[in-house]
Amino acid sequence: MDTWVSFVTEVGFPIAVTFYLLHRIEGKLNDLIESIHSLPDRMN
């Protein structure tokens, strides 16, 4: 049981932080892609 607890604390936390950061970056990347696609319309 102690090995599972140490495994979850050592590996689980970095995985959770990674998924959280990827989720935040995904939204910002979608905004960036939309602004790049609308750039030619704004230039006209």
pLDDT tens, residue order, the chain (44 aa): 778 888 878 888 889 999 999 999 999 999 999 999 999 998 88
How far apart CA 10 and CA 6 sit, in angstroms, is 6
pLDDT at residue number 26: 94
Which H/E stretch holds residue 23?
Answer: helix 13-43
The residue with tokens 């892609």 is 33
pLDDT at residue number 22: 94
- In degrees, rounded to 5, the angle at the alpha carbon of residue 24 between the alpha carbons of residues 20 and 26 is 115
Eight-class DSSP state of 22? H
How far apart CA 24 and CA 17 sit, in angstroms, is 11
pLDDT at residue number 44: 80
| Rg (alpha carbons) of the chain, rounded to whole number | 19
